[in-house]
């Protein structure tokens, strides 16, 4: 299962934090409007969330991140350009939450 995380821009580690949702990655692709270019980091890399425009991201902006393993990607999705790691959704947390809960 892929994990959906909402992380503040100043998050430097995942200790003490938990994913908000767990879903099949194929569902996440549709619901969170992901595409292979949304990939940001490998699974073993340190998240670098202090990037972006400080005028937009500086006051509590939260990223919608999806962590997916190689097992979840599988051969078919790998052929389509998907790879294991962290993906950043272009959606706001509010829109992502509505989509994940099935709220129109």
Number of domains in the chain: 1
Domain assignment of residue 20, yes or no = yes
Neighbours of 104 (CB within 10 A): 4
Cβ neighbours for 90, distance < 8 A, ≥ 6 positions apart: 33, 38
Give me 66's structure tokens: 């999806």
Domain assignment of residue 70, yes or no = yes
Full residue range of the structural domain in which residue 51 is found: 2-92
Domain assignment of residue 16, yes or no = yes
Domain assignment of residue 100, yes or no = no
Local structure of 65: helix, strand or coil: strand
Output the pLDDT for position 96.
92
Domain assignment of residue 98, yes or no = no
Domain assignment of residue 49, yes or no = yes
Domain assignment of residue 97, yes or no = no
Domain assignment of residue 40, yes or no = yes
What secondary structure letter does DSSP report for 37?
Answer: G
Output the pLDDT for position 55.
53
Higher pLDDT, 39 or 13: 39
pLDDT 10s digits, 42-97: 998 877 665 555 555 555 567 899 999 999 998 899 999 999 999 999 998 889 99
What secondary structure letter does DSSP report for 49?
Answer: -
Name the pTM for this structure: 0.84
Output the pLDDT for position 61.
60
Residue whose entry in the numeric block shows the structure tokens 């003490």 = 16
């Amino acid at each position: 299962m892929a994990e959906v995380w909402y992380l503040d821009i100043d998050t430097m580690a995942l200790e003490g934090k938990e994913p908000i949702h767990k879903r099949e990655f194929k569902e996440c692709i549709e619901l969170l409007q992901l595409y292979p270019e949304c990939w940001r980091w490998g699974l073993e890399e340190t998240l670098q969330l202090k990037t972006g425009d400080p005028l937009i991201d500086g006051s509590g902006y939260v990223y919608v991140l999806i962590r997916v393993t190689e097992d979840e990607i599988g051969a078919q999705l790998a052929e389509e350009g998907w790879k294991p790691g962290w993906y950043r959704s272009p959606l706001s947390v509010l829109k992502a939450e509505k989509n994940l809960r099935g709220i129109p």
